[in-house]
Amino acid sequence: MASDSPPVATLPPQAGIVTRSWGAIIRNPLRLIGLIFVAFLIYVAYSNLQSGAFTIERFVRQMIFGLAQGSIYALIALGYTLVYGILSMINFAHSEVFMTGAYIGFFAINAMDQSGLLEQQTFLALGITMLVGILASITVAVSLERIAYRPLRGAPRLVPLITAIGASIALQQLFLRLFGSATRVYPRVNFFVLPGLFPYLGCAEVNGVPGCRGLDLISGSYPVEFMGLELQVQPIRFLVFFTALILMALLWFFVRRTKIGKAMRAVAEDKKTAALMGINVDRVIVVTFVLGAILAAMVIFFPRGLAGIASDVAGLFGRRKREAAA
C-alpha cells in the first residue's frame, strides 16, 4: 500500500556532519573567535614566508625555544593544578614559591662562586644550589598551607582565594624589604661533559695547560648544520625539554601508581569520604604542596642556563616589586 506522505528531503551523511559542525561553531562565539585567530595566524605565517622575513632556520630555532620554554610553563602549571585539584583553590602565592627558590638559590650559588667551589666542583655546586632552592620553596609552600590555608579549609571558597592573594602580596613585600628590587644575576656556569665524544669543543688553556673539555652543557652555543639548515644550538634547551619530560613522567607515575598518589586522587574526589576511608587528608594536602614546590624550584634552573635566570625572575616578578618600591 503506497504512502500518501510527501517525501522527506535528507542530507548526505557528510553534509549533515558539516552542517552540525558549523552550527556548533556559530552557536559558540568562542569557537568562532578561535577559528578566526587560527586563520589569521596561517595568513601571517604565509605572508612572512612569501616576503622572505621568515625562514625555515628561524622556524626551527623558534620551535626549539618554544618547546623548552613551554616545558617550563608546563611544570609551573602542574604545581597550580595539583593544589587546585586537591583544594579547589587557585594558589596565587605559587609564583612566590618559585621566587623564593630563585632568590635563596642565588645566594647559595654566589657563595660557592666566591669560594671557588663552583669552578672546581661544578656538578657538586649545582647539586647543592638545587637542593637549597628546593628546600626553600618547600619551606614556604608548607608554611603557607599550615598558616594561611589549613585554618580556612571549611570556609566559603572566596575566603581562601582572597587569603592566597594576600599571602602573595605579603611574600612580595617581604622579599622586597629583605633583598631590594635590583636585578640579581647568577654567575656564569660552564659545565663540560663528554670530552671524548666532542674532542674539539671547549678548547682552552687551563692553568697554562692546553686542553679540550668537551660539550658545555649549560652556557654553550654551537653552530650546527642539520639537513641543510644552519642552526645555532644551545644544549641547555634540550636539557630543559627532556628533563621536563622526565619530571612529568615521574609525576604521572607517582599520582597513578603509588599509594599516596591514589590517596591524592581520592581526596580530590571527595575529602570527607576519603577521611572516612582512613586517609589522612592533612598529610595528603601537605604532600601536594611539597610536590608543587619541588616542580617550582626545579624550574628556576632551566631558562637559558644559570646565567640567564635572574632576568627571567626579574621579568616575571621584578616589575611588580619596582612598582611597589616606587
Instruction: Say if strands 215-216 and 222-226 run parallel, antiparallel, or are unpaired.
Output: unpaired
Distance CA 132, CA 134 (A): 5
CA geometry: angle 117, 120, 122, nearest 5 deg? 80
Residue 76: the pLDDT is: 81
- Inside any domain, residue 168: yes
- Inside any domain, residue 211: no
- Inside any domain, residue 2: no
The domain tally of the chain equals 1
- 64-73, 260-269, 272-281, 301-310: least confidently modelled range: 301-310
Residue 76 neighbours by CB distance under 10 Å: 19
Residue 308: the pLDDT is: 44
Distance CA 16, CA 18 (A): 5
Q: What is the DSSP letter of 6?
A: P
- Inside any domain, residue 248: yes
- 8-12, 173-177, 211-215: least confidently modelled range: 8-12
C-alpha cell at position 293: 614546590
- 10-14, 60-64, 151-155: least confidently modelled range: 10-14
**Percentage of residues in the chain having pLDDT higher than 90:** 13
Residue 56 has pLDDT above 80, yes or no: no
Mean pLDDT of 222-230: 76
Q: Helix, strand, or coil here: 186?
A: coil
Domain span at residue 244 reads: 50-189+234-325
- 59-68, 87-96, 162-171, 205-214: least confidently modelled range: 205-214
Residue 141 has pLDDT above 50, yes or no: yes
Q: Helix, strand, or coil here: 316?
A: helix
Q: Which residues partner with 231 through β-bridges?
A: 224
Mean pLDDT of 85-92: 84
Residue type, 32: L
Distance CA 37, CA 43 (A): 10
- Of 105, 166, 161, the C-alpha closest to 138 is 105
Do you know the residue count of the chain? 326
- Inside any domain, residue 165: yes
Mean pLDDT of 156-177: 89
- Inside any domain, residue 255: yes
Grade residue 238 by pLDDT with cuts at 50, 70 and 90: confident
Grade residue 192 by pLDDT with cuts at 50, 70 and 90: confident
Residue with the three cell numbers 594558589: 91
Distance CA 264, CA 231 (A): 44
* Residue ranges in the chain assigned as alpha helix (H): 13-27, 29-51, 56-87, 94-115, 117-120, 122-144, 158-179, 235-257, 259-269, 271-276, 281-299, 309-313, 319-325
CB 145 within 8 A of CB 285: yes
CB 82 within 8 A of CB 292: yes
Q: Helix, strand, or coil here: 220?
A: coil
Distance CA 311, CA 163 (A): 29
Residue 62: the pLDDT is: 80
CB 125 within 8 A of CB 116: no
Residue 229 has pLDDT above 80, yes or no: no
Residue 208: the pLDDT is: 58
Residue 317: the pLDDT is: 45
Q: Which residues partner with 224 through β-bridges?
A: 231
pLDDT tens string 240-269: 888 888 988 999 999 898 999 999 999 988
- Inside any domain, residue 6: no
- Inside any domain, residue 8: no
What pTM does this model have? 0.73
Distance CA 133, CA 288 (A): 18
Q: Which residues partner with 233 through β-bridges?
A: 222
Residue 15 has pLDDT above 60, yes or no: no
Residue 321: the pLDDT is: 45
Mean pLDDT of 202-226: 73
* Cα→Cα distances 210→122, 204, 207, 216, 218, Å: 20, 6, 8, 17, 22
- 28-32, 51-55, 242-246, 314-318: least confidently modelled range: 314-318
Average pLDDT of the chain?
78
Residue with the three cell numbers 577559528: 35
